[in-house]
Amino acid sequence: MRIAMISEHASPLATLAGADAGGQNVHVAALSLALAARGHEVNVYTRRDAPPHEQAERVALGDGVTVVHVPVGPPRPVPKDELHPLMDDFGRWLQDDWRRSGRPDVVHAHFWMSGLAGLQACRAADVPFVQTFHALGSVKRRHQGAADTSPAERIDCERVVATTADVVIATCSDEVCELQQLDVPTEHVRVVPCGVDTGLFRPAPRDGERPGTGHGTVLLSVGRLVERKGVETSVRALEHLQDAELLVVGGPSSGAVHDDAEVRRLRRVADEVGVAGRVHFVGSVPHEQMPQLYRCADVVLATPWYEPFGITPVEAAACGRPVVGTAVGGLLDTVVDGRTGRLVSPRDERAVAQAVDEIVHSAEGADAWGARAARRAATRYDWGVVAEQTERALHQAVRRVRRRTPTAARETTSDWVRRHRHELTSGMESLERQSATIGLWGTRLAQVLRGDGRLLAAGNGGSAAEAQHLTAELVGRFVDERRPLSAICLSAETSSLTAILNDYGAQEVFARQAEAHVRPGDILMLLSTSGRSPNVLEAARRARGRGAQVWAMTGPGPNPLARLADEAVVVDAGSTAAVQEVHLAVVHALCAAVDAALQGPRAPGRSTDADDQAPHAVEVPA
């Protein structure tokens, strides 16, 4: 496809030092390159902020990606909150450019003002339109109040853009809830997170001496030095952590960082609570050097008042470091509380200190928390994965426009099969990246079932059928003969289901059964293509409360069930039907892994343990 990205203030060519530079610049650059690597042609339209002799109209960012500088407004940097009046001209210039160089197949706008310009151009040219906000004005105004410098009309404009777009890509689940509060219908909203370069940000042995004094626990805070990032909370937490140091990365260069107004304010806070000697302001650090800093930390702190997504927790996780973060915005998706880090309330320094202490002094140690975080980051936040999910959202927008176009031909059966094959291929690719998880599930499930534990399974609709399929393969057999294994499908208990539904309501149909049947150490497998079914979520909570492990098979993440489960296989396919069919492959792969674990390595001519054998099948005459 020919994809037009619009990022009116955040150029992918910009550095990250300025007040208006940050995660969006990195996101647009990395996503564009990843989409180009998948065979697409990408033009990124951003505002010209330098004279023509210093800034060419078109600059190659990489193979398949061109940055186009749109000549609207003065040719110098302008604060983004002052750019709104220029968006009509921006939209008209896009239309002119498309007439000259060819219309794109789809437009993907980043930030609300880009949405205004993109929507204007797309309406005129009948081009599918996709919107990513990165941050919502309603959230900013709630937290910043009178300090919010956004244009007064921002929230109303965001509501119009979100409602009119063919597809909205939200970067986290919390953003979907915020859009609902704006009375935006969310049937066309998909959650696709921001990504991370897992080739650069990856676990590795610590290289050289640790920063700071080299003694005690090393904590790391990374981000722009603005008050809402909540670095003050991290500084104050040191008062309750006697053997810890805090490195603060961000702001001006190391030579100028001590003159920064926010640094001076934070130093006063450190003096006030008696920790000035344990807080070190590093200044800005080149992007390619950040992985080494992350690896030097025992725990990474991300304590903003609010955060639309927040790339720091993902970079930290990719480097194998646990995160203590505030339970806001994107961190609700990126930090799995109790597994890859801890979530605390905003501005609660005592809770931050307690969470750090829990991770550092846990029996398994901070490295085990970090290892789980790294595995999760590699399968969910790698830019290749994010580009694949974004590509599907862009295709969805194209299909929506075709369906509403009167001259568009109706999709034939052949077209449907061809599209569905592509969806299945994408879904199986996402499954293949998680095959190690399924293998581990098979080993652990075999151990549970050998030890007189049981598997329980549940889901709704098609997922109910697949839950029953799983338990049938375990109680019966998958391929080879073996003893029957204890597995119960909660979806198949029609008398219990209807009685509970009648007496307690739909939300209790699985939870009450789980409460009755689950024992400590059992496993509850929950299947949901959306990951949002209330009765499935309640069953997960109830089972965990009874000491069971909760595993989940879901559709595209992040989603509430994947967050709530101890572990999840998240299938990113383009339709519910494709997700369900890939879930069936997960069922079969898990059964194969269980059988392999029960059999174990065999010496030639020797049978497996007697306990794992079933009697030979006997053919009964008719």
Domains and CATH numbers, the chain: 2-191 (3.40.50.2000), 217-380 (3.40.50.2000), 427-599 (3.40.50.10490)
pLDDT value, residue 270? 97
Rounded to a whole number of angstroms, the distance between the first and last alpha carbons of the chain is 61
Average pLDDT, integer, range 350-376: 95
**Tokens 């399968």, residue?**
379
Q: Does residue 406 have a pLDDT over 70?
A: no
Average pLDDT, integer, range 197-201: 95
Give residue 208's pLDDT band: very low, low, confident or very high (50, 70, 90).
low
What six digits make up the tokens of 158? 């965001």
Give residue 398's pLDDT band: very low, low, confident or very high (50, 70, 90).
very high
pLDDT value, residue 445? 97
- Tell me the C-alpha to C-alpha distance, in Å, between residue 72 and each of 75, 83, 112, 116, 120: 8, 10, 17, 14, 15
Handedness of CA 288, 289, 293, 296 (dihedral sign): positive
pLDDT value, residue 415? 79
pLDDT value, residue 413? 87
Average pLDDT, integer, range 309-317: 95
Q: Does residue 564 have a pLDDT over 80?
A: yes
> Do the Cβ atoms of 113 and 83 come closer than 8 Å?
yes
Average pLDDT value over all residues in the chain? 90
Q: What is the side-by-side order of every strand in the sheet holding 523-528?
A: 487-489, 455-459, 523-528, 549-554, 567-570
**Tokens 């519910």, residue?**
576
Looking at residue 256, what DSSP letter applies?
Answer: T
Query: Which residues are CB-contacts of 581 (< 8 A; sequence separation ≥ 6)?
Result: 424, 427
Q: Within its chain, how far is the Cα of 557 from the centroid?
A: 7
Give residue 404's pLDDT band: very low, low, confident or very high (50, 70, 90).
confident
Report the half-sphere exposure of 67 (CA within 13 A, side-chain side): 23
pLDDT value, residue 622? 37
Q: Does residue 175 have a pLDDT over 60?
A: yes
Handedness of CA 486, 490, 494, 497 (dihedral sign): positive
Q: Does residue 162 have a pLDDT over 60?
A: yes
Give residue 209's pLDDT band: very low, low, confident or very high (50, 70, 90).
low
Q: Does residue 403 have a pLDDT over 90?
A: no
Highest mean pLDDT among 202-211, 214-223, 536-545: 536-545
pLDDT value, residue 213? 57
Find the helix or strand (DSSP H, E) in which 67 lies: strand 65-70
Burial 447-486 (b: 16+ CB within 10 A, else e): ebbeeebbbbbbbbebbbbbbbbbbbbbeebbeeebeebe
Q: Does residue 512 have a pLDDT over 90?
A: yes
Average pLDDT, integer, range 346-371: 96
Average pLDDT, integer, range 460-464: 95
Which tops the pLDDT comparison, 408 or 172?
172
How far apart CA 60 and CA 522 sit, in angstroms, is 55
pLDDT value, residue 418? 87
Q: Does residue 199 have a pLDDT over 80?
A: yes
pLDDT value, residue 206? 74
Summarize pLDDT for 67-84 with one digit per residue, the tens. 999 999 999 999 999 999
Average pLDDT, integer, range 176-194: 93
Q: Does residue 616 have a pLDDT over 50?
A: no
Q: How many CB atoms lie within 10 A of CB 394?
A: 23
pTM of the model: 0.68
Average pLDDT, integer, range 198-223: 82
Amino acid at 607: S
pLDDT value, residue 602? 46
- 3-state class (DSSP) for residue 550: strand
How far apart CA 391 and CA 115 sit, in angstroms, is 18
Handedness of CA 367, 373, 377, 378 (dihedral sign): positive
Average pLDDT, integer, range 19-40: 84
pLDDT value, residue 269? 97
Summarize pLDDT for 411-446 with one digit per residue, the tens. 678 878 988 998 899 899 999 999 999 999 999 999
Q: Does residue 386 have a pLDDT over 60?
A: yes
Find the helix or strand (DSSP H, E) in which 517 lies: helix 511-517
pLDDT value, residue 620? 36
pLDDT value, residue 16? 40
Give residue 579's pLDDT band: very low, low, confident or very high (50, 70, 90).
very high
Q: Does residue 18 have a pLDDT over 70?
A: no
Q: Does residue 215 have a pLDDT over 70?
A: no
Average pLDDT, integer, range 101-120: 96
How far apart CA 42 and CA 211 sit, in angstroms, is 41
301 bridge partner residues = 221, 324
Which tops the pLDDT comparison, 21 or 538?
538
Residues, the chain? 622
**Tokens 């105004």, residue?**
141
Q: Does residue 17 have a pLDDT over 80?
A: no
pLDDT value, residue 614? 45
pLDDT value, residue 530? 86
pLDDT value, residue 156? 96
Average pLDDT, integer, range 332-348: 96
% of the chain beyond a pLDDT of 90: 79
Find the helix or strand (DSSP H, E) in which 164 lies: helix 154-164
